[in-house]
Amino acid sequence: MLRHAIWIVAIIALSFIVRAGTACFVGGHLDDAGWFQSGSYRIFDQRAQNIIDGAEPAFLITDPERTDLIQYPPAFAAAVGVIYMLTGERSPDAVHSVQWKLDALLMPFLIIGITLAAFGWRPAYFAGSFAALSPLLAFYGVTPSADAATTWVVLAAVWILLLAVKRTSWKLALVAGMVLGAACWFRVNPLFLIVPWAATVMLFTSLSLKQRAQLCCSLAAGTILLVAPIILRNVIVYRQFVLTGLSVGVNLWEGLGETETGRLNGFKYGDDLMLQDERIEMGRPDDVTIRLFWPDGISRDRERARRALALIAEHPLWYAGVMLERMYWMLKIAGEPGPYYGTAGINCTPQKCLPETQNGGLISAAVTVLGSVQSVYRYLAVILAALGIAAGVIQFRHSACILLSVVLYYLVSSSAGHTELRYVLPMHAVLVVFSGFALDRLIAVFRPQIDDD
């Protein structure tokens, strides 16, 4: 146990080093829209401040005209409010300062736990090290947004589900479903992950039919139990069935706006351009405020979705190609990023991650080496993950299929509309698990040859 503890502490220390450097860069660019989604954060910030000042409740909605209040689930705004109260500072800098430290601890710890449950200790060391090094995970882990928090909770659910299947425990499956439901309080994206999970448990485990059914029912019950309060609140307030957040119509619309065919049919990429057209359709003059989800946010978003789906239905093969191209960009974390998908993070360099006074010394040289290692990992990550998936399905079918269901879920669901790399962080975290397993298998294959030499 001491050896395992030493490894875990060393990996978490590496994670703190990488995230401290990345946080230094991100902290200096919180006023730069090219690096920080200040528009999205502003919504959480306003909600958090209203909650602290008593202007709005954290969960309940008293005004049915305020459809903008369900753009996002309630948890992250509440978490921002807690951070504001604890730090005494109402700014993204306060969230940034707290979040990067949490991510430095939680991300490698969760990856180690998942890999241990799926493949064993040595792959867990490798996967934890990759999680610590990953520029993508580090960048979004230190950037103030709901994406990192959602990822932590989804990964916790993955870990518990692996243990539930291993131990044939319906109680653990219930907890896994509840934790997945808790993730939906931060973002709506994981909501339907329960479907591939249940399908995987039913189709790719060797348990009895009764045991598989128990696990699936427990998973579903746990998720429904946690998500139901938000849905019931929305139904009661708006007299309409609305899930944990509004975004489907916007993402479909702006996803079509990324394409030439979409633009030829009147779809545009960018909130401002979309709102300009909607303002004209609604007959609202320029001096009257309209926002993405106010007024009449529910009906407007459904109309966006209806019109987008109508075009997609007319050109299904073309849109399948669009989705495949998005999948490619979601997996591409090295080289030039795609035009709509956000950054895949930064490699640590002295110029980006150190004060000018520390450039040129021993620390600067160490940071340069660290950045070089990150760069190598970037180019090998997807290859290693692919090898890990193949080896995992052969050797550890149950665990590998559960993990693979997460990857496929995010690839397919996120490619249906406009997406960004930050939306699919859980997928990349799971790919890190497969990368760690692949490195372990490669070492096992080549070690006898090394010993023979």
Listing DSSP states for 40-72 in one string gives HHHHHHHHHHHHHTTSS-SS----TT-GGGGSS
Residue 186 in contact with residue 75, Cβ under 8 Å? yes
- pLDDT for 448 equals 63
**C-alpha closest to that of 154 among 119, 128, 189:** 189
- pLDDT for 72 equals 94
- pLDDT for 2 equals 86
Kindly report whether the peptide bond that precedes residue 123 is cis, defined as omega within 30 degrees of 0: no
- pLDDT for 202 equals 95
CA angle 371, 376, 378 (to 5 degrees): 90
Paired with 294 in beta bridges are: 291
- pLDDT for 287 equals 78
Residues of the chain with pLDDT under 70: 448-453
Runs of H (alpha helix) within 119-245: 121-133, 135-142, 146-167, 170-183, 194-204, 209-238
- pLDDT for 452 equals 42
- pLDDT for 449 equals 54
- pLDDT for 39 equals 87
Residue 184: count of CB within 10 angstroms of its CB: 27
* 3-state SS class at 418: coil
Angle between helices 397-415 and 362-395 (to 10 degrees): 110
Q: Each residue of 124-172: pLDDT tens digit?
A: 999 999 999 999 999 999 999 999 999 999 999 999 999 999 999 999 9
| C-alpha to C-alpha distance for 391 and 438, rounded to whole angstroms | 7
Burial of residue 26 (number of CB atoms within 10 Å: 0-12, 13-18, 19+):
buried
